[in-house]
Structure 1
Amino acid sequence: MDRRKFIENTGTLCLSALLPISTYSMPVKNKYKLGLQLFSIHQDMTKDTVSTLKAAKAMGYEDFETFGFDSGKGTYYGYKAIEFKKILEDLQITTNSGHYEFASYLTKSDDDLKRFVEQCIKGAHILDMKYIVWPWIAPDQRTLDNFKLMAKRLNVIGEQVTASGIGFAYHNHGFEFIDQGGENGYDIILKDTDPSLVKLQMDMYWVMNSSKHTPKELISKQPGRYVMWHLKDMDKVTRDYTELGNGSIDYIKILPNPVESGLKYYYLEQGGNYANSPMQSAADNATYLKKHLQQYL
Structure 2
Amino acid sequence: MSRTSKNHDPELSHRLSRRGMLGVAAGAGAAAMLGAAVPASAAPVTAAQDRGHGRGGPVLPPGRLGIQLYSLRDKVSTLGFAPVFAELAKYGYDEVEFAGYTQGSAGPITLAQLKRLARDHGLNPIGSHVNYYDDNNPGAYSFAQNLEKVLDDAQALGLKHIGTASGPWRYGATVDGWKRAAEDFNTYGAAARRRGMKFYQHNHAEEFSFATDKPKVRLYDVLLAETDPNLVYLEMDIYWAYVAQFRFGKQVDGTPAPFDPLRYVLRQPDRYPLFHVKDGERNDAARDGYDMVDVGDGDIDYKRFISAVNKTHGGRRDHHWQAEHDNPVESFAFARKSSAHLHSLREKDC
Alignment match, 1:136: 166
Render the CA deviation track for 1:132-184: whole Å, top value 9, x for unaligned.
01211398865224422211100000011101111111111111011231123
Alignment match, 1:54: 86
Alignment match, 2:188: 157
| 8 Å contact from structure 1 (residues 227, 264) kept in 2 | yes
Q: Aligned to 1:87, which of 114, 117, 132?
A: 117
2:149 maps to amino acid = Q
Q: Aligned to 1:223, which of 258, 269, 273?
A: 269
CA change 1:159–1:140 in 2 (3 A) is: closer
Q: Aligned to 2:303, which of 247, 252, 264?
A: 252
1:194 maps to 2:246: no
Q: What CA RMSD, in Å, does the superposition of the two structures yield over aligned residues?
A: 2.8
1:179 maps to 2:203: no
| 8 Å contact from structure 1 (residues 215, 254) kept in 2 | no
Once residues 150 and 346 of structure 2 are traced to their aligned partners in structure 1, the CA distance between those partners, rounded to angstroms, is: 33
Q: Aligned to 1:65, which of 97, 101, 108?
A: 97
Alignment match, 1:6: none
1:199 maps to amino acid = Y
SS in 2 for 1:235: strand
SS in 1 for 2:77: helix
Alignment match, 1:269: 324
| 8 Å contact from structure 1 (residues 195, 225) kept in 2 | yes
Once residues 347 and 73 of structure 2 are traced to their aligned partners in structure 1, the CA distance between those partners, rounded to angstroms, is: 27
| 8 Å contact from structure 1 (residues 40, 269) kept in 2 | yes
| 8 Å contact from structure 2 (residues 164, 200) kept in 1 | yes
Once residues 136 and 127 of structure 2 are traced to their aligned partners in structure 1, the CA distance between those partners, rounded to angstroms, is: 21
CA drift at 1:248: 1.5
2:336 maps to amino acid = A
Once residues 223 and 250 of structure 1 are traced to their aligned partners in structure 2, the CA distance between those partners, rounded to angstroms, is: 19
Once residues 249 and 130 of structure 1 are traced to their aligned partners in structure 2, the CA distance between those partners, rounded to angstroms, is: 28
CA change 1:138–1:227 in 2 (3 A) is: closer
CA change 1:169–1:232 in 2 (3 A) is: same
Unpaired runs of 5+ in structure 1? 1-29, 71-76
Once residues 263 and 64 of structure 2 are traced to their aligned partners in structure 1, the CA distance between those partners, rounded to angstroms, is: 25
Alignment match, 1:232: 278
CA drift at 1:69: 4.4
Indicate the larger mover: 185-194 or 233-242.
Answer: 233-242
| 8 Å contact from structure 2 (residues 131, 143) kept in 1 | no
| 8 Å contact from structure 2 (residues 168, 181) kept in 1 | no
Greater RCO (CA < 8 Å, at least 6 residues apart)? 2
Unpaired runs of 5+ in structure 2? 1-60, 246-257
CA change 1:225–1:79 in 2 (3 A) is: same
Indicate the larger mover: 233-242 or 132-141.
Answer: 132-141
Q: Aligned to 1:209, which of 237, 240, 243?
A: 243
Render the CA deviation track for 1:264-296: whole Å, top value 9, x for unaligned.
321111112x3x41221111111111112579x
Matched residues, number: 257
SS in 2 for 1:32: coil
SS in 2 for 1:92: coil
Q: Aligned to 2:200, which of 159, 164, 169?
A: 169
Once residues 267 and 135 of structure 2 are traced to their aligned partners in structure 1, the CA distance between those partners, rounded to angstroms, is: 29
CA drift at 1:243: 1.1
| 8 Å contact from structure 1 (residues 228, 263) kept in 2 | no
More helix by share: 1
State how 1:8-27 maps to structure 2 within 5 Å: none
| 8 Å contact from structure 1 (residues 38, 64) kept in 2 | yes
2:269 maps to amino acid = P
Indicate the larger mover: 233-242 or 46-55.
Answer: 233-242
Indicate the larger mover: 228-237 or 250-259.
Answer: 250-259
1:65 maps to amino acid = E
Once residues 119 and 213 of structure 1 are traced to their aligned partners in structure 2, the CA distance between those partners, rounded to angstroms, is: 38
CA drift at 1:82: 1.1
Alignment match, 2:29: none
Once residues 274 and 99 of structure 2 are traced to their aligned partners in structure 1, the CA distance between those partners, rounded to angstroms, is: 16
